[in-house]
Amino acid sequence: MSTRERRYSLTWTDPDGAPQASAGRYDKRSATRRRRALEAVGCTRVEVVVVEPGELPEPAL
């Protein structure tokens, strides 16, 4: 049996309306902190998404 650590990334819309996606990978706790930080500066549609190795999330539309 193998254990696999899940990695997360974020997608959001900037305050000026531009869709963005994080190129970094986070553990669940760090992703939640980053989500809160983005929301605090006025970003909307902030979502934490699970990513596979080598995968980049699509920006929020």
Successive 10-residue mean pLDDT values, the chain, 61 residues? 77 95 93 97 95 83 63
Q: What range does the domain containing 46 cover? A: 7-51
Is the residue at 57 inside a domain?
no
- Per-residue confidence (pLDDT) for residue 1, from 0 to 100: 45
The answer, as to whether pTM is greater than 0.95, is: no
- Per-residue confidence (pLDDT) for residue 54, from 0 to 100: 84
Is the residue at 56 inside a domain?
no
Is the residue at 47 inside a domain?
yes
Is the residue at 42 inside a domain?
yes
Number of domains in the chain: 1
- Per-residue confidence (pLDDT) for residue 48, from 0 to 100: 95
Q: Return the bridge partners of 12, or none.
A: 20
Is the residue at 21 inside a domain?
yes
- Per-residue confidence (pLDDT) for residue 18, from 0 to 100: 95
Closest-CA residue to 20 (of 28, 33, 49): 49
